[in-house]
Amino acid sequence: MRVFRDTEGLQPIPNAVVTVGSFDGVHYGHRALLHELRQVAAATGGESVVVTLWPHPRNVLHGGVKLLNTLPEKLLLLEEAGIDDVVVLTFTHDFAALRADQFIRDVLVRRIGMRHLVVGYNHHFGSDHQDHFAEADSAVTVHRIRRYDVHEEKVSSTIIRNCILAGDMTRAAELLTAPYPLLADLATNGAITPDPDKLLPPAGDYRVSIDGKREGVLHIAPQGIRLEADPAIGGRHLLRFI
């Protein structure tokens, strides 16, 4: 998977099939969107392109939002989902002021090369919150997917955040389609200093998988976070709450 930071110097991607969003959690609803993205790309001979925003728009506009994924975690999950290209756009107040037609025409079409746009059932763009895209550029074909529920419950990043805050990691994993990840840099004693914006469950002891190969126990306490594993390990590892 190729990763591009912003669009300066980016050559338009041939026949780009694009979806846009924060994709915090890369959850069940996101996965349905990514599946449709790959299907359209395969049918049209194009490349699947995720355009994501960083920092998270809510943190830029309002601040204080704990996230399901850091940027490295999000990129790892998108790669696991089989996406060809990711364009990470820096989200600022100036960016937020762009109208939908400006964003579609100047960024998605001219700079990225979009020919197909895949959107969710309630997606909107721009400072003017447009939710109809066909008029924006006649050269772009729009594909809109339906809402996906799990056991008749709407799936959203907010609902998953609430599960994690309550320590319900089983329900969070069901809505995410996979156990909740934590990409951690471990000291040799197992200590972890997490990203300050990363959402973690309440204090307690949690069983985790380590790089999908073995298990350990993650101790979360007010005085710090530590992974107990045998043998002890250091360096960067992907933990998942199981």
Q: Are residues 29 and 132 part of one domain? A: yes
The predicted model scores a pTM of: 0.91
DSSP 118: E
Residue 173 in domain: no
Phi and psi based region of residue 35 (left: phi greater than 0; alpha: psi -120 to 50; beta: remaining): alpha
Number of folded domains that form the chain: 2
Name the H helices within 81-156: 93-96, 100-102
Q: How many residues does the chain have?
A: 242
Q: How far apart are CA 83 and CA 60, in angstroms?
A: 26
Label residue 66 exposed, middle or buried (CB < 10 Å: 0-12, 13-18, 19+). Answer: middle
Q: Are residues 218 and 110 part of one domain? A: no
Q: Are residues 225 and 113 part of one domain? A: no
What domain range includes position 211?
A: 179-241
CATH of the domain at 113: 3.40.50.620
Q: Are residues 118 and 15 part of one domain? A: yes
Residue 169 in domain: no
Residue 162 in domain: no
Residue-level pLDDT, tens digit, the chain, 242 residues: 999 999 988 999 999 999 999 999 999 989 999 999 999 999 999 999 999 999 999 999 998 889 999 999 999 999 999 999 999 999 999 999 999 889 999 999 999 999 999 998 766 665 555 555 554 556 899 999 876 665 545 788 999 999 999 999 999 999 999 999 999 999 989 999 999 999 999 999 999 999 999 999 999 999 999 999 988 889 999 999 99
